[in-house]
Structure formats: structure tokens, C-alpha cells
Copies of this chain bind each other. A is one copy, B any other.
Amino acid sequence: MAKPSKENTPITEHLAYLLAQANREINRQLELRLSKEGVPVEQWRILKVLSDGNGHSMGELADAVLLNHPTLTKMIDRMVSDTLVYRVQDPNDRRKVLMFISDRGKVLCKRLNSLAVDQEEHILESYGDKSTSELKRLLESLIDSSN
């Protein structure tokens, strides 16, 4: 009796691959919608996180929007040029920079949110309410268990 070796399982059965594939596809769709406003997905994430009106440090932001520090710095540079966000030195810890969303940023963020909601609804339609919420639940728990 041969030892059941997992080493020949096709790549399409690896969780890592399925996640990458699903992410690529869903991200591509979202990208397409947001391109109506000429904004990359990461900028939408940044605006969305900042739209609570509070100041967020770069480190905090980088975690929240899934970007490395240097990448975030450079993206924020562009967004500052576009006056979507602005920097304020943290008075309590001057190593830190607090990011804030501007009024222009808020207006744009609203339009982006509605494009993103369109997509979520499109997914709900084709994929189903039940599957969607179950998938979300499982993803959250996977993320939890990975820390």
C-alpha cells in the first residue's frame, strides 16, 4: 500500500493557489470599476480607512491597506499632490506622521464606495447570499488563525 503522498496534488488544489486566483479575479473586477474614477484599489482603501476622520500613522495605514511602508509613502506622496489627503506631524510622538483625508478626498471616496458596493452586489447576485457570507466568515477565521 503506497503512502498517500500529497506532493503530486495539482496546484489548483492548494489553498494558497485558490486564494491567489480568487483574489486576482475579484481584484481585477474591482479595479475595472474604480478605473471609472481613475483610482487604483489601494488608494480607495487608503481613503476608506482615513474616512473615519481620525489621524492614522503611516505604520498603521500600511498594515490596514496591505502595503509595505515604502510603497505606501510613495503612494501617499501622489495622493498629497492630488490633495486627497494630507500629512500632519504627530504632536505626541514626532517620529510619527498622521494622515488625514481632505474634503476633496471625502467626495471622491463617496463615489468610490458606491462603485465598490456595486461590485459586492454583483457578487451577491451571481454567487449567492449564503455562500458570500459563509466565505467571508471562513476568510476572517483563516486570517485570525494565522496570527
Contacts and interface: CB of A to CB of B under 8 A. Distances in A.
A136 B134 CA distance: 12
Interface residues of A, number: 52
A120 B19 contact: no
Interface string A35-61: 000000100010011000000000000
Interface in A119-147: 119-121, 123, 126-127, 131-132, 134-136, 138-143, 145-146
Interface string A3-38: 000111011011111111111111101100000000
Given A27-B16, A30-B16, A117-B6, A142 B11 contact: no
A114 interface: yes
30 contacts: A6-B121, A7-B110, A7-B113, A7-B114, A7-B117, A14-B116, A14-B120, A15-B120, A15-B132, A15-B139, A16-B26, A16-B30, A16-B120, A17-B45, A19-B139, A20-B27, A21-B66, A22-B23, A22-B139, A22-B143, A23-B23, A24-B66, A25-B146, A26-B142, A29-B146, A126-B146, A127-B146, A131-B141, A134-B134, A134-B138
